[in-house]
Structure 1
Amino acid sequence: MTIIKFLTLTLGATAFLSAQSSPIRSCGKPLHPKTIVQNDAPSGTVSKENKIQVALLLDTSNSMDGLIDQAKSRLWNIVNTLTTLKYNGKAPQVEIALYEYGNDGLQDENFIRQVTPLTQDLDLVSEKLFALKTNGGSEYCGAVIRDASMNLNWDGNEKSMKLIYIAGNEPFDQGRINYKETISKAKSKNIYTNTIFCGDRSEGIQSFWQSGATIGDGKYFNIDSDKKVIYIETPYDVKISEYNSKLNDTYVYYGSRGSEYKNKQMVQDKNAEVQSASSSVERTVAKSRKNAYKNDHWDLVDRAEKDADFISKVKESELPADLKGKSKEEIKKAVAEKSAQRGQIQKEIEVLSKKRQGYIDTEMKKRGNPEADDLGKAIENSVLELAKKKGYSI
């Protein structure tokens, strides 16, 4: 039965594909360093050549409430770890996918479901993660890894980092799908499989979780999924939180569902806040990073940056009330002003977030900085190790 410190230095791996906000079908036919060098290239320079893609496969059987809670607590930490990675001085796009497995409520013979595709829509990932519920079932690791490795839109570029993280607590070899064959096929496409066993380390080894990671050229970890995530308050948290509302004010929705997406943004702010003050701060930091938080499907500022001619084509009926009746030039000017405001806020948050991280690193060293205290720490360690191998820097 059956991941997360989507932590301060987690998942250096996901490139969020163009956001798809509609629910995804469960399964289907296959489609298609720690010596890391410091790099001071602007964080807003996004590489179009490669991606960091991460698929999180979470056991949602009865005993995994603690695991899901860790995932909720560490989502934005993980995102921020991924967004600190650069390749040739550029920040790759980050995409994250979410799967659940081992849940009796899933209408699939292998009890698996693709919750989100690989996407850049972080609000969608957060919304779906917070909606997960546990329910007793059978945990078929081979089946969910097969679906994720075959049905997600993995990037074909060899320089891209493509990672699978599967977490659970039942024997890894359950079910009719051979995990060895499945993981080997994933590795042939440069998809690395990492396993996180929720329980005693030796038990995870005996039940083949280490074997899965070894075949997938990934890392094997064990965690206490019932352990409460450690939060470290810093002198910079309040100031960063104050910037969140200012950042939200720079978003200009458009389209028939624009106001709905804007509301979702605020709902996910609230979810992070309820989880913890630290999680709320981490979400604000993530929202300030262009390679992580992209909303061109509903925000005019992001869309105009992607397509300079879009404003001249957008219909008046798709605009918010304060922009209706204005000329195209007036709209372009208003959007440009919001873009400039956002850029300044992002820079100020970045300065504070670096100071905050330095404070956290110092405190963690004082506490012994455990090797794998929760899901997030496990992901951080493996991401940084693979990043070194793939030529990424921090």
Structure 2
Amino acid sequence: MKTIIKTLVVSLCMISFLSCNAKEKKEIEQLALVETKAHKPNNQFIKVALLLDTSNSMDGLIDQAKAQLWDIVNELSYAKCGDEKPNLQIALYEYGNDNLNSDEGFIRQVLAFSDDLDEISKQLFSLTTNGGNEYCGQVIQTALKQLKWGENNDDLKLIFIAGNEPFSQGKISYQDATKQAHKNDVSVNTIFCGDYNQGIATYWKDGADLSHGDYMAINHNHETTYVATPYDDKILQLNIKLNKTYVAYGYAGKTKIALQAEQDTNAMGYSQANAVSRTVSKSSHLYKNSTWDLVDADKEKDFKFENLKKDDLPKELKDKSTAEIKTYVNNKRIERDTIQKEIQELNEKRRHYIKSQQTLESNGLENAMIHAIKTQAKEKKYTW
């Protein structure tokens, strides 16, 4: 009996240590099962569903999303849940565009929850504006039903919906949709593109309040401003070296490594500073490419070099033995780790420099999202 009690006490301590914000009920349930079921550490996620109005007047909003994606990702990469760094998944919807199916409420799921940052960037750059009819309640309800939100109480689950028409439009009640979100532990954060008080008058604040989310108003037509730093050129040089550490394999390899280069170009198309921000994202734990890169794939538990087919391998590895391939990939991993560490060190200096140069916070999408995420993350015991 003493042994059982001791086991229960030790197990309870482990649960408390491993959980970022475990509920009391959850602890009791786990405690009851501890004699027959080993506890596994939580694998926390920050899940962000971005619902963007792509009607005619929203070109500025889409531009901000494209220009500020990497800064948002970088800020989220600094988050911690206890001693762990949570994973990030982003989903993307567009609504209010006349090119979309009217039977589905002029709504389209552009991308389900994904940790493929290059694909997320690609889809953002594919968005165009036209029309239309904006049904906020319906797009929120659609995102709640279609996306796999999971049941981990430690996950941070967030919807960000941005637009400029009355929040009450459409046949689906925004009150019902946002209340359901709150019931599902999903916070709805509303971003009105225009005057703060006008957003309140058109129910954008009410939509956020009903799900315990944040209401924000932004100037969506304000161009993103960048602060050039003395570290930018060096970081971009390291990006070139970083790209050379990727070892593309399999059917998706050639396509994905081309996509990586394409998104580098897209980022540079906005500004050098934006390209730097993307490079910083590529040096973080959130940038994962195990489906097409052998260096990342080697970190996966179910990956085995022995299962690779010759046709899956890049030209430089086709005639190599398994042992030689392992050595080659390991050397690339060491090289990548060194480059990523140097980028992170330079980025710390870059962040301090930018902070010293900025006098006012931008009233844009990035700051609105980061403020809301950090506010709600505190309730889940996330820290920065």
TM over 0.5: yes
User: Could you list the runs of 5+ residues in structure 1 that have no partner in the other structure?
Assistant: 1-46
What is residue 295 of structure 1 aligned with on the other side?
A: 289
CA distance in 2, matches of 1:124, 1:71: 14
Aligned position for 2:372: 382
Write out per-residue CA displacement over residues 116-163 of structure 1, whole angstroms, 9 at most, x where no aligned residue: 111011111100100100001100001111111121111211111011
Question: In 1, are the aligned partners of 2:55 and 2:131 still within 8 Å (CA)?
Answer: yes
1:164 match: secondary structure: strand
SS in structure 2 at match of 1:58: strand
User: SS where residue 185 of structure 1 aligns?
Assistant: helix
Q: State the SS of the aligned residue for 1:369.
A: coil
Q: Secondary structure at the match of 1:305?
A: coil
Shift of 1:368: 2.9
Contact 1:58–1:100 (8 Å) recurs in 2? yes
2:12 aligned residue: none
* Offset at residue 282 of structure 1 (A): 0.6
The amino acid of 1:393's aligned partner reads T
Distance 1:178 1:157 in 2: 27
Matched residue, 2:64: 70
| Residue 214 (structure 2) aligns with | 219
Matches within 5 A, 1:317-328: 317-328=311-322
- AA paired with 1:369? E
Worse-matched range after superposition: 354-363 or 238-247: 354-363
From the two aligned structures, give the one with the greater helix fraction: 2
CA distance in 1, matches of 2:55, 2:199: 17
Structure-2 separation of matches of 1:70 and 1:310: 41
Give the AA of the match of 2:59. Answer: D
Is the partner of 1:267 in helix, strand or coil? helix
**1:137-286 alignment, distance < 5 Å:** 137-286=132-281
Residue 380 of structure 1 and its aligned partner are, at CA, apart by 1.2
Question: Would the aligned equivalents of 1:85 and 1:393 in 2 still touch at CA under 8 Å?
Answer: yes
Specify which structure has the bigger relative contact order, considering alpha-carbon pairs within 8 angstroms and separated by 6 or more residues.
1
Post-superposition offset of 1:48: 5.5
Q: Distance in 2 between matches of 1:206 and 1:92?
A: 37
Deviation beyond 4 Å, 4+ runs, structure 1: none
1:314 maps onto 2:304 in alignment: no
For 1:368, the aligned partner's letter is L
Q: Deviations over 1:51-70 (max 9, x none)?
A: 01101110000000000000
* 1:360 paired residue among 341, 354, 370: 354
Contact 1:48 1:93 (8 Å CA) reproduced:
no
Q: Distance in 2 between matches of 1:61 and 1:225?
A: 13
Match of 1:346 among 340, 343, 353: 340
The answer to whether the 8 A contact 1:195-1:220 is kept is yes
Count of matched residue positions in the alignment of Structure 1 and Structure 2: 343
What's the CA shift for 1:230?
Answer: 1.4
300-309 vs 324-333, which deviates more? Answer: 300-309
Aligned residue number for residue 81 of structure 2? 87
Which amino acid in 2 is paired with 1:124? E
CA drift at 1:107: 2.1
Matched letter for residue 243 of structure 1: L
Are the equivalent residues in 1 in contact too, given 2:93–2:109 (CA < 8 A)? yes
Q: Is the 8 A contact 2:229 2:354 kept in 1?
A: yes
Identical pairs, percent: 47
Distance in 1 separating the partners of 2:138 and 2:111? 17
Map Cα deviations across residues 27-74 of structure 1 (whole Å, 9 max, x no partner): xxxxxxxxxxxxxxxxxxxx8521011011100000000000000010
> Please, what TM-score do these two structures have when normalized by structure 2?
0.87
More deviation, 56-65/108-117: 108-117
* More displaced stretch, 103-112 vs 302-311: 302-311
Give, as a single letter, the amino acid of the residue that structure 1 aligns with 2:297.
Answer: R
CA contact (8 A) 2:163 2:192 kept: yes
> Match of 2:123, as an amino acid?
K
Letter in 2 for 1:317: D
SS at match of 1:49: coil
SS of alignment partner, residue 196 of structure 1? strand
